[in-house]
Amino acid sequence: MEALRQLVLERGPKLAVAAAYLVVIYLVYRYLVRILKKRWRALELDEHILNGLILLLRIAVIILAFTSISPLLDLPSNLFIGTGALLGTILGFGSSQTINNVVAGIYVLVSQPFKVKDYVRIDSIEGQVEEININYTSIYTPTFNLLKIPNTKIMNSKILNMTHEDVIKYSFQVSFSLDLPQEALEEKVLESTIKRFQEERETKDIRPPETYLEKVDRVSRNYMIRLFVPRGEAKRLFQEKNLFLRILAEQLEALKASG
């Protein structure tokens, strides 16, 4: 009993201070998590990245708590060194590529070159952004497949975002031989295609396609076609592009057949 009393007298104040440290650190941690969640959801950012940041914050808080109470409890220094070495070993086993992807994922969310449901072209890859997580960004491609792109590749790529004002403004090029008269080409092929397309498309209250002559070279005229589809409806965009090209081919064959 006397030994216990002596232990309380010797260790009691330090234990009380250590407990106070832990309470303060915990309260600060909870406050930071609450602020982080509130800010993250206000910006409508991806929950996967939020969970990753909270995990990193939790690890940092545990390390801070351990280093704060170690001197108060007279813990041996080799325990701290051993714990640090163990943590370093665990992190060392993690893939450096994965760590780079995490950093790149955070960069993508902060810089916001695109958001979920935006239609983008990343180098030669295009499609609708379906998810941005801690390692990869998922793209719904024109082949109706889901492609996962490492965030490190995205950070080092050219990005074209074709989504503006909640509308996908998609452009592609078509070429025609110089043998076709320009006036007949524009009137009987391009204008007629747009008219038929508007009649056959499912939703008719959307802005009609636009065309303009982009360039003329030695063998062809190159026109840029712009299609407009509501944001987040990539499948409709793929279907309507196919519809437009089918009608265009039919109108072109009709012009050639007419002589």
Comparing 113-161 with 167-257, is the CATH topology the same? no
- Tell me the sheet residues that pair with 177: 220
Per-domain boundaries in the chain: 2-93, 113-161, 167-257
The reply to whether CATH 3.30.300.100 applies to domain 167-257 is: yes
Measured distance between the N- and C-terminal CA atoms of the chain, rounded to whole angstroms:
113
Residue 79 CA neighbour count, 13 Å, CB half: 9
Q: Scanning the structure block, which residue is given the tokens 């030669």? A: 124
Q: Are 35 and 74 in contact (CB under 8 A)?
A: no
Which positions of the chain have pLDDT values less than 50?
Answer: 4, 7, 93-95
Q: Give the neighbor-by-neighbor strand order of the sheet with 146-150.
A: 146-150, 136-140, 125-132, 119-122, 159-161
Helix axes 192-200 and 234-257, enclosed angle (nearest 10): 140
Amino acid identity at 233: E
What is the SS3 assignment for 6? helix
Calculate the alpha carbon distances from 99 to 128, 191, 210 in Å: 25, 52, 44
Q: Scanning the structure block, which residue is given the tokens 């007949």? A: 184
Q: What is the pLDDT, as a whole number, of residue 95?
A: 46
Q: Which one-letter DSSP state was computed for residue 205?
A: S
The reply to whether CATH 2.30.30.60 applies to domain 113-161 is: yes
Q: What is the pLDDT, as a whole number, of residue 47?
A: 64
Q: Are 118 and 129 in contact (CB under 8 A)?
A: yes
